[in-house]
Amino acid sequence: MPVYRSIRDLDWPLLIVTLALCTLGVLQIYSATLGTRWQDAWWKQIVWVITGLAMMWVMAAIDYHSLLGPRVIYLYIASVVLLVVTGFAGNKVFGSTRWIKVAGFTLQTSEFVKIVLILLMAKSLTDLKTGPLNWKDLAKLAGLVAVPMILVMKEPDLGTALTYIPILVCGILMAGLRWKYLLIITAILVVILPIGYHFLKPYQKDRLVSFIYPDRDPKGTGFQVIQSRIAVGNGGMWGRGAKESSQTHLGFLPVPHTDFIFSSFAEEHGFVGVVIALVLYFLLIMQVVQNAQTATDKAGLYICMGIAALLLFHVLVNVGMVVGRMPITGIPLPLMSSGGSSTWSIFLMLGLVNSVRLRRFVN
Amino acid sequence: MALIESEHTRAGEISPGLLHDDPKDASGKIAIFQYLTVVVFVFLVSGFWALQVQNPDVYSEAAERNRIKSTPILAPRGKILDRDGRVIVDNKASYSLLLNRDQIKPEHLPAMAEALQLDYGALADKIHRMGANPQIIIKDQLTRDDIAWVESHQDVDTYPEMQLIRAWRRQYPQDGFSAHVVGYVGEISESELDLPQFLDYRQGDIIGKDGLERQYDQTLRGVDGQERVLVDNMGHEREAETTQEALPGKDLRTTLDLDLQAVAELSMEGKRGAVVALDPRNGEVLAMVSRPTFDPNKFTGRISRDDWNEIANDPYKPLMDRAIQAEFAPGSTFKPFTALAGLETGVIDDKTEFHCAGGASFYGHYFACWRKPPGHGQISLHRGIAQSCDVYFYNVANRLGIDRLAHYAELAGFGHKTGIDLPNERESTMPSTKWKMRMFRQKWYAGETISVGVGQGAVTVSPLELAAAEGGLAVGGNWYQPHLVKTAAPKLLRAGNLNPDNVQQIISGMYGSVNEAGGTGFPGRLPNVKVCGKTGTAQLVSNKFLKGRKIDQTMKDNAWFVGYAPEEAPEIVVVALFENGEHGDRAGWIVRDVLKSYFDKKAREAKAQNRSAQFRPPPLFADPQTVTAALNVPLPKGFTR
């Protein structure tokens, strides 16, 4: 198998869009944290992006097929073990244990598990015979995703756990599912979801309730929903201008550089800025999908589509939350939110996409 | 590994990848994903459109409210001054406690109520009703302990909604002096807030509740200012934005004379009733007292329930301003008006004589004179007034008939409000045939006129109305509207166009009452001042009823006295009502004291003016013109003559 790769062959449009979003992210982090205790987050983010780029390059160099052998099983087992270890030995931040210290870095294990799950899904689906999946396949796939998902939920980190679902769903739908199965699964979900509500933590229930009725307790859980909406609305058409946003700078926005960075962005850059940023995200996802379309085999397609689905889910849930159209879940906005684990895992995924792209002419 | 193996993977199949690993058969599904992505982004953009483009104002205002904390700067109310500018009602700096609505937590309230000795129920109710007000004052006149407690608990982690602000406490005279005329302030009530005249008032505002405080609330109240401070989400103040200074209320210069007021207050101590002193030439009220009284200082801000109950349930109604609200029969003080009606209509003249045998019969009823038989004997107008002969006035009234009598009494103000600038004035009653038909749908009986002629029966009057009526007559028949705040021109209510001789007859009779032997008004007598006066003893219950009963204090006759001076040109009229005082002369001493203080003060002032007119100190720095002129030398350069 001739391996020919150079910088020239990378997905440049994808890379440009990615870097554009990272730039918006760094600038917004700088503006939003100026004068707060997080005010050095912007240059840390630059470090994350640069190291992320290197990781992407390394990942692109690796033939994704080589990861789909037994290695993915080892990675999967390692992930589960790590999640268990995180649960016991991790750092507690904001009341949940999501982070683990590795060589001086605080890493959020659950972010990297996404990549493993994408690979695992690709491997499992290519191992199957083509054609609609049967119940046994579905049960196996769901079980494989459920184990880490439950572990992450226990941390507790419902938001990140939920991001594993689009990986599973996208994989299944890409592999093909009978209409009958689809209907039955939908029916079961409709029955189960209300029951599942009772198993949520009280604060999670509050978030759901305050999403639907934010004004019920404007000082408590509804606070974030209302303040984010006020921030976005305050931006208006053209925005308040960088560093001029009152909601962000007077601390009314919760964590304006991580989960709510887009509120802060929307307040400072207005509707025009929002549309520009969303167009960039749209191009990013479409570019990943384009790589799925040109992939040489189904494994590549599954990987790219899994990543596209994950990105779409992140953007939908995070931006939806910012604009008050989704409940508060606390998942970051890819590439813009400040945070090493999230940034690195996205770059690793984009590395995978490039790996698929670089091998599209093989065979 | 075993987990993922399945029966679908069949070993030995030739190039399975080439057969079913063609990504092209997923292109339809990818297209679906792409459509889904478009839908998601449209969904998100529409969300931003709704918030940022459709109603940007709603949210920018919300953001503004978030970041700006505005604190009211309370404007002091205007002072209430007497006619010489002496302070009657003042303000004292104090502290009030304010709660900021955005930070109020219901679970904080019980602790606050306990620490500040507030009623929790009332506090919770108040918070519940505060509506859109950003702040609410929950306690005024904080004590030192309160302030210490607030300061140690207003941090972010405890009760950040608490805020101390400087406020003004109304300070009224001690012992309830002039309480009724001045009134008091209090927090605006819910029912008042609904009224159209309180449109620009807000919950928690302090307004005048009674007396001058209420009548001149618009003048006295200032415009509260506002201090706007930029705050962060923890309520920490970052920087001052703008400050809108408070506009203090205007001082109210009244026509009251504190010297007279004080004398009137003291002379009514321990009694029930009222004193009114007017300048009959223009209607200026010089003194106005009502007893029993109350301490308005207890009413400022939020009165305690016990204090309120004590005052509200007092059988003698201390809150009632008897000067304008006590409507009693005027008794013999009405006789000058009967005389006026008689003289003006010509049914009597100064020579007309009647015979008093200690009583007389009219229409089959016997009407007694206050002087037991043999009575006053042959009696004419002058002695009739001076000795207050009832029989004389029974006869005059009988000759007049009720409607002619009512015409002249109404001219003097009976049956009308005076329209003084105080709230809740009550209207006096002057009976007439029309009045009886209107009120009772009954005909007037001629026999009823007899009692009215001596100020009994249905006729009632308040001390103020009586003072205005007598004063107007005393100045020749021009009735001015009584008022407490000086107006540009006194308002003439009614001009009588009376025959000056007739008026002089009556004044002379009233002079006789005070100064002549046998006059009933002798307590009003003063050296060097020609005082005219008239007593009045008004029955509350009939003698028949009293026969054989133990006389209750409250059944005793009311004592009235009206006096004015000096006889030739009256400049002050004083009316005293001494409830259950038994006889008019007991009110006379009160009137005399007030008159005396008026003329004493006048003499004092004249003397002082005289002295200052005689004594001209030489100017310390004489102007060059005068000096050069006096010395007959040329003016220095630069000066012109």
Nearest CB to B47 within list A127, A128, A323: A323
Residues B243 and B386 in one domain: no
Neighbours of B222 (CB within 10 A): 18
The pLDDT, as a whole number, for residue B633 is 64
Residue B21 CB neighbours (<10 A): 18
Confirm or reject contact between A217 and chain B (CB < 8 A): no
Q: Domain boundary residue among B258, B279, B296?
A: B258
Long-range pairs for A98-106: beta carbons < 8 A, 24 or more residues apart: A98/A155, A98/A157, A98/A160, A99/A341, A105/A340, A106/A340
Q: Minimum mean pLDDT among A27-31, A129-133, A220-224: which range?
A: A220-224
- Which domain-ending residue is among B241, B258, B275? B258
**Mean pLDDT across A310-331:** 89
pLDDT by residue (tens digit) across B422-462? Answer: 999 999 899 999 999 998 999 999 889 999 999 998 999 99
Give CA–CA dist B183/B175, Å, rounded: 14
Overall average pLDDT of the B520-524 stretch: 90
Angle at B631 between CA B629 and CA B637, to 5 degrees: 60
| Residues B255 and B83: beta-carbon distance below 8 Å | yes
A104: closest CA of chain B, how far (Å) = 33
| A233 and A246 Cβ atoms separated by less than 8 Å | no
Tally: H helices and E strands in chain A = 14, 3
If pLDDT is split at 50, 70 and 90, which confidence band does B19 have? very low
Mean pLDDT of A89-102: 62
Given the structure tokens 């962060």, which residue do they identify? B232
B30 in contact with A at a CB cutoff of 8 Å? yes
Cβ A199 vs Cβ A188: under 8 Å: no
Sign of CA dihedral A250, A252, A256, A258: positive
Collapsed DSSP state (helix, strand, coil) of residue B352: coil
> Which stretches of B160-201 are assigned E, i.e. beta strand?
162-171, 184-187
Per-residue pLDDT reduced to its tens digit, B342-374: 999 999 998 999 999 999 999 989 999 988 888
Q: Are strands B252-253 and B87-100 parallel, antiparallel or unpaired?
A: unpaired
Domain contains B271: no
Instruction: Give the mean pLDDT of B39-64.
Output: 86
Alpha-carbon span B507 to B280, nearest angstrom? 14
Do B357 and B214 share a domain, yes or no? no
- Are B450 and B394 spatial neighbours (Cβ–Cβ below 8 Å)? yes
Task: List pLDDT tens digits, range B580-605.
Answer: 887 767 889 999 999 999 999 999 99
Q: Does A57 touch chain B (CB under 8 A)?
A: no
Q: Do residues B247 and B389 share a domain?
A: no
B598 within some domain: yes
Q: What is the DSSP string of B467-497?
A: HHHHHHHHTTSEEEPPBSB--SSPPEEEE--
DSSP lists the bridge partners of residue B170 as B91
Mean pLDDT, residues A297-309 taken together: 93
Greater confidence (B508 vs B234) lies with: B508
Contact A127 B53 (CB under 8 A): no
Residue B106 maps to a domain:
yes
Residue type, B271: K
Alpha-carbon distance B37 to B476, whole Å?
99
* B95 & B244 share domain: yes
Pairing of strands A105-108, B68-73: unpaired
Taking residues B269-293, report their average pLDDT: 93
Directed axis angle between helix A222-235 and helix A202-212, to 10°? 40
The dihedral sign for the CA sequence B94, B97, B100, B103: positive
Decide: A200 and A207 in contact? Cβ < 8 Å. no
- Chain B contacts of A300, Cβ < 8 Å? 23
One domain, residues B330 and B252: no
Direct distance between the N- and C-terminal alpha carbons of chain A, in angstroms, rounded to an integer: 8
d(CA A197, CA A193): 6
Other Cβ atoms less than 10 A from the Cβ of B279: the count is 22
DSSP secondary-structure letter at B51? I
Task: Find the residue in A nearest to B60 (Cα).
Answer: A234
Q: What is the average per-residue pLDDT within B254-265?
A: 93
In B88-147, the residues whose Cβ lies within 8 Å of chain A are: 102-103, 105
For residues A355 and A64, what is the distance between their CA atoms, to the nearest angstrom?
6
Rounded to an integer, what distance in angstroms lies between the CA atom of residue A348 and that of residue A221?
Answer: 35
State chain A's mean pLDDT as an integer. 84
Higher local confidence (pLDDT), B368 or A101: B368
Q: Summarize pLDDT for B117-138 with one digit per residue, the tens.
A: 888 888 888 777 776 667 788 8
Question: How far apart are alpha carbons A273 and A15 in whole angstroms?
Answer: 20
Hey, are the CB atoms on B59 and A270 less than 8 Å from each other? Answer: no
Contacts of A220 in chain B (CB under 8 A): none
Whole-prediction pTM value?
0.63
Task: Answer yes or no: do B59 and A285 touch at CB < 8 A.
Answer: no
User: Is residue B312 domain-resident?
Assistant: no
pLDDT score for A130 = 57
Q: Which residues of chain B lie closer than 8 angstroms to A248, CB-CB?
A: none
Task: With respect to residue B153, please indicate whether it lies within any of the assigned structural domains.
Answer: yes
Determine, for residues B30 and A293 on separate chains, whether the beta-carbon distance falls below 8 Å: yes
Q: A124 touching B, CB under 8 A?
A: yes
Look up B304 and say whether it is catalytic: no
Is residue B47 a part of any domain in this protein?
Answer: no
The whole-chain average pLDDT of chain B stands at 85
Half-sphere exposure of B504 (CA within 13 A, CB side): 4
Alpha helices in B221-334 (DSSP H): 258-267, 305-312, 322-325
Question: Domain range for residue B401?
Answer: 322-604
Give the model's pLDDT for residue B104.
78
**Using CB atoms and an 8 Å cut-off, which of residues 291-350 of chain A contact chain B?**
292-293, 295-301, 305, 308-309, 312, 315-316, 319-320, 323-325
Chain B CB contacts of A316 under 8 Å are 40, 43-44
In a domain, residue B306? The reply is: no
On whether the CB atoms of residues B166 and B74 are closer than 8 A, the answer is yes
Chain B within 8 Å of A76 (Cβ-Cβ)? no
Q: How far apart are the first and last CA of chain B?
A: 124
As a whole number of angstroms, the longest Cα–Cα distance in chain A is 63
B56 assigned to some structural domain: no
Q: Which of residues 224-243 of B touch A (CB under 8 A)?
A: 230-234, 238
Percentage of chain B beyond pLDDT 90 is 48
CB–CB of B538/B330 below 8 Å?
Answer: yes
> Which of these three, B222, B238, B258, is where a domain ends?
B258
> Are B484 and B361 in a shared domain?
yes
Burial class (CB in 10 A: 0-12, 13-18, 19+), B345: middle
Q: Is A286 on the interface with B (CB under 8 A)?
A: yes
Q: What order of strands is seen across the sheet that includes strand B225-231?
A: B68-73, B225-231, B237-244
Structural domain count, chain B: 2
Q: B640 vs B36, B436, B628, B631, CA distance in Å?
A: 100, 80, 11, 16
- Phi, psi of B349, deg, nearest 5: -135, -175
The answer to whether residue B228 scores a pLDDT higher than 80 is no
Helix/strand/coil for B343: helix
Asked if A232's CB is within 8 angstroms of B238's CB, the reply is: no
Tell me the domain boundaries of chain A: 8-358
How many Cβ atoms are within 10 Å of A225's Cβ, its own excluded? Answer: 23
What CA–CA distance (Å, rounded) separates A251 from A249?
5
Strand B80-81, strand B252-253: pairing:
parallel
Q: CA A297 to CA A280: how far, in whole Å?
A: 27
Lowest mean pLDDT among A90-104, A107-121, B208-222, B271-285: A90-104
Classify A307 as helix, strand or coil.
Answer: helix
